[in-house]
Amino acid sequence: MSSNGHQDSDEESLAKLMKQRKKNLKANLESQLTKHAQTVDGALHAIEVALETLNTHFETYTKSSIRSNLAKIDEGLRGLQATVAKKAAKHATPAPKPPPKIDEHSKKNPLKIIIKRPKVSAAAVKSEQPSPSISSAKESTIPLPISMAPNDEGYVIYDMSMIPVPPIQLNNIALHLGNTPDAFCDGILWPVLVFANFADAKAWAMDTTLLELLHPTLDESDRVVFYFGRANTLQDLRQLAVVPMADLGLAPWSLDACSASTDSLYQLAMQQAAQFQAAICPLQAHEWLLQCSLEASSYEFWEPEKLASAASEISTNLNEPKFTDYQLLLYAFWPTLEASGWKCVPNSTNDIVGYAHVGVTFTSRKAVVLEAIKDLHANELHSIVWRYMLKANYANGAHGGYDVAGRTFGTMAEAVQAFFAQRQKSKKPSKTTSASSIATVPEVTFDQIYREMLQDGWYETSDSYGNLFCKPSYRTAVTPELGKDFFRSLADVELYVTLQDQPLWDRMVKKLQAQEPNYQQNAPKQSSKPAKVSSSKKRKADSSTTFDKVFAYLQTKGWFRHDDGRYFKPKANVDTATEGIDKFSSPGLLEAYLKSSGTWYKVKAVVDANPDHGRRDRSSPKPKREAKVKREPKPPPAPVASTAAPTTKKSRAMAKTTMAAVPEFQPTFSKVYRELQREGWFHKSGQFGWSYYKPGVNVKEAVLEEDWFSNEVQLELYLKTSGEWQRIVDQKNKELQELYGYYQPSATAPVAVAAPIAEPVSMLPPN
């Protein structure tokens, strides 16, 4: 009994001690909270201090679970702080402003404009001294409405009646919710666009080439379906597919269906469909559909947070739509332009939407509008612009005249063109600003960024499988992850930095900008005594010089110029070539084509980096001979230069450059596997390192050496014996040939032998 009594008393005392400890802990917590103000900010500050203490305490712990939990707490805290800050900014009451003075002009103006400030160059931000004004510059004489400021993107317009656009009509297309062929995201209904046939899909610039090969004829129940947010691979058609109506299980589309899943890609797809549904005219719907199709290929590199951010941005644009006058003018022009041959096309080189006409693609709405109004006989287009000018008080049409900026024009076309010409003049930056921006903000390449990354803690090493490009976290990570802590190639590093870690890129750019001498080593030096040459002549000379350099490089890849001054692509037939596709009748058309495809900028970067590419710079100044005290006798006179035709050494040298071979793809396991990943292959951590799986394989039901492979050696052996390895090599070599324009001159091909390369030095002026 006594022992039992002692045991009971011990348990009682232990319970009392535990209760007392809970009270002490509660009192301690309350005292800690009372140190801060009893507000949300005070509570968040207390949590932040506590988190810092936990991080310090667990700094030496290597368990991934502890680090993961601390990271989740930190992420949640940052989210709460951002929410509180956003809410506080929303409810903040701005300081009272004095009422603006309203004159008679502003009372008549129906426009409501938001000022979009122009981008400021890095040099302008860094320099606090204002640029000297140019006294000779004349201000625009066009009477701008109050609260308007000119910029390159146009004026933001809220009164949509100023530029009426054609109503949207989707007769051959329908927005629904439907099943996905691969039952993605637990098989929920996905936002889709349903086309009745291939012709309707092509009308919306959908690439149906592969589908038509797989389905030469469609059954009555088959439909061509576009899935928002999905991307095609070489193995699976996930974005555009042919699906029978019975398998689609269509349901009416509604934005309320967003609650069906919290998956980030599904939420983004729903917002994309909502943006398509909210289009105000057919062209805007067309633009958005092409943009969704082009951007989908990059989603596989995005994290859920970035997908959610993109969906949030679309939602914001839906709630607060903004249209510029150039945008609305193009929408109003489009029925007329489309009837005359204009098309809205995808530009896969830059992943942007373009507007094509006669083989030339424009990537700016403003450029299309300015190009369209050049035709003096485009009365319908000029009438649209003139009505807008009258409503915006840009012009006066009293007494049947055409008055713009104090001048009277004889026709509407002349008045419209004068209006845009004067508007362009008022937006030209000063010479001082443009010169400083060119000199201090050169283009940053990945090579420069990577050099800074190596100095910032990145390093290179190797293992039994090849090279490793490692982040600083590779040394501290318990289980380093491929694609996060280390990479197998520089191409993977570049993809990671540009698509997943943009802050790292921006930080490296700032470091480069801080290194003034190194960063501006290619900046043009200003002479103390500039030559007195007019700016217009200088611009024309610089433009022609750049074109000559670019075309000289293209000649080494097989491009050629005919005797009559026309330009041709490699292997083009002079007699059957098509204008704007493989034949160009003037340097201006060729330059516009190269810029629209992105080739101009790639070649220009190569030429600028290697100014002596394909030639010997004979115009570079020779070093002056040092002066000597003792006068030396004059050298014998040089022989008189022969006036005969130049020898054939030049033509033979240039002929060799036209046969330059394409760089060959050097296959390694990491390079080949990177291509397989794009086709749907994936890997997981296994018993002997990484295990590799075929696309769409169920990991639990996979068969070894048939559906999955336990290491790199097994996979490489399978790829080589099955022919997949050689298929990838051939595919990459074909891509390189298309990129570099491989050209082997033949006896029948029209090769540039005489006219284009007779005087290579004149085509490549001195630097």
Average pLDDT over residues 150-169: 74
At 536, list the tokens: 């217009």
pLDDT in tens, 445-480: 777 888 888 888 898 888 767 788 899 888 888 888
Q: Which residue would you say has higher pLDDT here, 400 or 524? A: 400
Instruction: Please determine, for residue 568, whether its predicted confidence score (pLDDT) is greater than 80.
Output: yes
Q: How many CB atoms lie within 10 A of CB 609?
A: 11
At 531, list the tokens: 């030559």
Q: Which residue would you say has higher pLDDT here, 31 or 533? A: 31
Instruction: Please determine, for residue 426, whether its predicted confidence score (pLDDT) is greater than 80.
Output: no
Give the C-alpha separation, 744 to 737, whole Å: 11
pLDDT band of residue 89 (cuts 50, 70, 90) is low
Q: Which residue would you say has higher pLDDT here, 216 or 151? A: 216
* Three-state secondary-structure class, residue 359: coil
pLDDT in tens, 196-207: 888 888 888 888
> For helices 2-34 and 40-57, what crossing angle results, to 10°?
120
- What percentage of residues in the chain have a pLDDT greater than 70? 63
- Note the pLDDT of residue 596: 66
pLDDT band of residue 542 (cuts 50, 70, 90) is very low
Q: What mean pLDDT is reported for the chain? A: 71
Q: Which residue would you say has higher pLDDT here, 165 or 232? A: 165
Instruction: Please determine, for residue 113, whether its predicted confidence score (pLDDT) is greater than 80.
Output: no
Lowest mean pLDDT among 84-88, 417-421, 531-535, 717-721: 531-535
Sheet containing 395-396, strands listed edge to edge, beginning at the edge strand earlier in sequence: 395-396, 402-404, 407-409
- Note the pLDDT of residue 153: 60
Q: How many CB atoms lie within 10 A of CB 698?
A: 8
pLDDT in tens, 726-761: 999 988 888 777 665 543 433 333 333 333 333 333
**pLDDT winner (highest mean) among 394-398, 481-485, 643-647:** 481-485
Instruction: Please determine, for residue 164, whether its predicted confidence score (pLDDT) is greater than 90.
Output: no
* pTM for this model (two decimals): 0.41
- Note the pLDDT of residue 12: 65
Measuring CA to CA, how many Å separate 764 from each of 150, 498, 545? 38, 35, 7
Instruction: Please determine, for residue 416, whether its predicted confidence score (pLDDT) is greater than 70.
Output: yes
- Note the pLDDT of residue 75: 74
pLDDT band of residue 225 (cuts 50, 70, 90) is very high
Q: Which residue would you say has higher pLDDT here, 672 or 82? A: 672
Q: DSSP E strands: which ranges in 110-254?
A: 156-157, 173-178, 190-195, 222-227, 240-244, 251-252
- Note the pLDDT of residue 178: 92
Nearest to 404 by CA among 140, 694, 706, 746: 140
- Note the pLDDT of residue 114: 40
- What percentage of residues in the chain have a pLDDT greater than 90? 4
Instruction: Please determine, for residue 590, whether its predicted confidence score (pLDDT) is greater than 80.
Output: yes
pLDDT band of residue 192 (cuts 50, 70, 90) is very high
pLDDT in tens, 323-382: 888 989 999 999 999 888 888 888 755 567 888 888 788 888 888 888 888 876 788 888
In this structure, the dihedral spanned by the alpha carbons of residues 419, 421, 423 and 425, taken in order and rounded to 10 degrees, is: -150
Give the C-alpha separation, 284 to 266, whole Å: 23
For residue 355, list its beta bridge partners.
344, 362
Q: How far apart are the first and last CA of the chain?
A: 108
Average pLDDT over residues 553-582: 84
Q: Which residues touch 510 (CB under 8 Å, ≥6 apart)?
A: none
- Note the pLDDT of residue 11: 60
- Note the pLDDT of residue 191: 92
Instruction: Please determine, for residue 387, whether its predicted confidence score (pLDDT) is greater than 60.
Output: yes
Lowest mean pLDDT among 77-91, 217-231, 499-513: 77-91
Read off the amino acid at residue 571.
K
Q: Kindly write down the DSSP assignment for every residue of 600-641, as one continuous string.
A: HHHHHHHHHH-TTTTS--TTSPPPPPPP-SSPPPPPPPPPPP
* φ, ψ (nearest 5 deg) of residue 328: -70, -35
Instruction: Please determine, for residue 710, whether its predicted confidence score (pLDDT) is greater than 80.
Output: yes
Q: Which residues touch 388 (CB under 8 Å, ≥6 apart)?
A: 162, 163, 325, 329, 394
Answer for the pair 411, 402: CB distance below 8 angstroms, yes or no.
yes
Instruction: Please determine, for residue 35, whether its predicted confidence score (pLDDT) is greater than 60.
Output: no
- Note the pLDDT of residue 194: 92
Nearest to 492 by CA among 308, 635, 358, 678: 678
Cα torsion 717, 718, 719, 721: sign:
positive
- Note the pLDDT of residue 9: 61
Read off the amino acid at residue 304.
P
Average pLDDT over residues 674-690: 81
- Note the pLDDT of residue 719: 92
- Note the pLDDT of residue 27: 64
Answer for the pair 369, 324: CB distance below 8 angstroms, yes or no.
no
Give the C-alpha separation, 270 to 257, whole Å: 8
Give the C-alpha separation, 705 to 330, whole Å: 57
